[in-house]
Amino acid sequence: MISGISKRNENQYRELSLDSSSSLKDFATNRKKYYKKYYLNEEVEEEDSKASVTGRVVETLLLDPWEFDNRFYMSACASAPTGLMLSFVEALYKYTKDATNEEGVVMRDFADISQDAYTESGFKIKYEAVIGKFVGSDAEIYFNEILKVRTNNLTVVTTQDVTNAEKIVEELKTNFVTSHIINLVNSERWEIINQLQVENYTIDNHPMKSMMDKFVADHETKQLFVYDLKTTWSVEKFLSDYFLYRLAYIQMYVYYKATQSLTTNPDSKYYGYKVNIPRFIVCDSTNYYSPLIYIPSEKDIEDAYNGFMYENRHYIGVKDIIEDLKFAQTQNIWNISRKNYELKGRVPLRK
């Protein structure tokens, strides 16, 4: 096995106690979440949007379909609840889970829990009307399903979700923009690895891990390419709505360094290969707009590391994220940033 590359199942990879682009993003946006999830190893409920669920189904069907049953549970409902009813169901799940003890017994009455869920959901119609719509409906079936399977790290999906994902996969395989990449197969020239895992490389002496969607080695030209698949509502606004808003530039930089680590290891067959900056294959979650391939530049890599300004907003770089994280870990100080700690909590109102 090549030094740095591993082949674990997804759960084993997730349990590996190393930081990743996802954990760096969590620390940069919500250090309390990072502290609970990665430091205390507590379960932290992730909020799934429709687009993110679609994206994970697409990724699974396209890159490792044999993992479908390990990640998803097929709902008995043709489609999931939507709008305020979905908000009610998710709130009902949250309050029910919070009220459940270690023996699996719900310690609060359904009437009390559902009142809280009703208040949080934002319904304007009366509580009794909402309960009338919920009881005996697909929404109640969906609620019981997520209550049953989420504890097993499964995501409930409907036949509608899977059918839509299958159409997106077919579009990726046939569209002129993406087909030449998606349909690449292993040959004497090309080596294709889906979900490549690289472990124990470092960024600023901080140990890291990465699992990259699609890794392509061109042995003829001695080049390495990494492609990350994104499913969004706004394919043509990827820069503002995803790359910046969701801090995907962190992932770009981390994957770049992970790939670089393979080319500097004399024991690696990729030693000395050229590393191309990771690219994003972006597809539409409704399968209307054509997929696009976004190609970052050297400037994007530099900005991702150092931090940058875009439209009067500052985006923190990987360099400062890791420095702040090291401070929190070594000092065991999580409730105040390194900068504000150094200022002794006396922070100028304006800079």
* DSSP assigned state of 66: G
Check residue 51 and give its pLDDT: 80
Check residue 314 and give its pLDDT: 96
* DSSP assigned state of 241: I
> Which pLDDT band, with edges at 50, 70 and 90, does 16 fall under?
confident
Please report where in the chains the tokens 């890794």 appear, as a residue: 215
How far apart, in whole angstroms, are the C-alpha atoms of residue 256 and residue 245?
A: 20
pLDDT of 89 higher than 50: yes
Better-scored residue on pLDDT, 4 or 233: 233
12-37 mean pLDDT: 92
pLDDT of 144 higher than 70: yes
Q: Helices 248-263 and 318-331: crossing angle, nearest 10°? A: 90
pLDDT of 102 higher than 90: no
Domain-wise residue ranges, the chain: 5-31+170-342, 43-167
Contact 254, 208 (CB under 8 A): yes
Maximum distance among all Cα pairs of the chain, rounded to whole angstroms: 69
160-177 mean pLDDT: 97
> Which pLDDT band, with edges at 50, 70 and 90, does 3 fall under?
very low
177-188 mean pLDDT: 97
How far apart, in whole angstroms, are the C-alpha atoms of residue 118 and residue 112?
A: 10
How far apart, in whole angstroms, are the C-alpha atoms of residue 265 and residue 272?
A: 8
Check residue 50 and give its pLDDT: 76
Tokens matching residue 100: 């459940």
What torsion, rounded to 10 degrees, do the Cα atoms 133, 137, 139, 144 define? 130
How far apart, in whole angstroms, are the C-alpha atoms of residue 175 and residue 287?
A: 12
Please report where in the chains the tokens 């009307």 appear, as a residue: 129
> Which pLDDT band, with edges at 50, 70 and 90, does 205 fall under?
very high
The region of weakest confidence among 23-27, 77-81, 267-271, 327-331 is: 77-81
46-72 mean pLDDT: 89
Q: Which long-range contacts (CB under 8 A, 24 or more apart) does 155-158 make?
A: 155/48, 155/53, 155/56, 155/71, 155/72, 155/73, 156/72, 156/73, 156/75, 156/80, 157/53, 157/57, 157/72, 157/73, 157/74, 157/75, 158/74, 158/75, 158/77, 158/78, 158/79, 158/80
- For the question of whether the overall pTM of this predicted structure is more than 0.75, the answer is yes
Check residue 323 and give its pLDDT: 97
85-96 mean pLDDT: 95
pLDDT of 48 higher than 70: no
Three-class DSSP category at 282? strand
Backbone angles phi, psi at 288, to 5 degrees: -105, -55
Average pLDDT of the chain, as a whole number: 93
pLDDT of 2 higher than 50: no
Q: Helices 138-149 and 127-134: crossing angle, nearest 10°? A: 80
Nearest alpha-carbon partner for 249 in 150, 185, 318: 318
189-199 mean pLDDT: 96
CATH class held by domain 5-31+170-342: alpha beta
Check residue 114 and give its pLDDT: 96
Check residue 4 and give its pLDDT: 66
pLDDT of 9 higher than 80: no
pLDDT in tens, 270-310: 999 999 999 999 999 999 999 999 999 999 999 999 999 99
The percent of residues above 90 in pLDDT, for the chain, comes to: 86
The region of weakest confidence among 77-81, 134-138, 187-191 is: 77-81
Length of the chain counted residue by residue: 351
Per-residue CA distances from 186 to 128, 189, 191 (Å):
59, 8, 5
244-261 mean pLDDT: 97
The percent of residues above 70 in pLDDT, for the chain, comes to: 97
Per-residue CA distances from 142 to 79, 87, 150, 260 (Å):
9, 12, 12, 44
> Which pLDDT band, with edges at 50, 70 and 90, does 7 fall under?
confident
> Which pLDDT band, with edges at 50, 70 and 90, does 350 fall under?
confident
169-187 mean pLDDT: 97
pLDDT of 343 higher than 90: yes
212-235 mean pLDDT: 97
Check residue 104 and give its pLDDT: 87
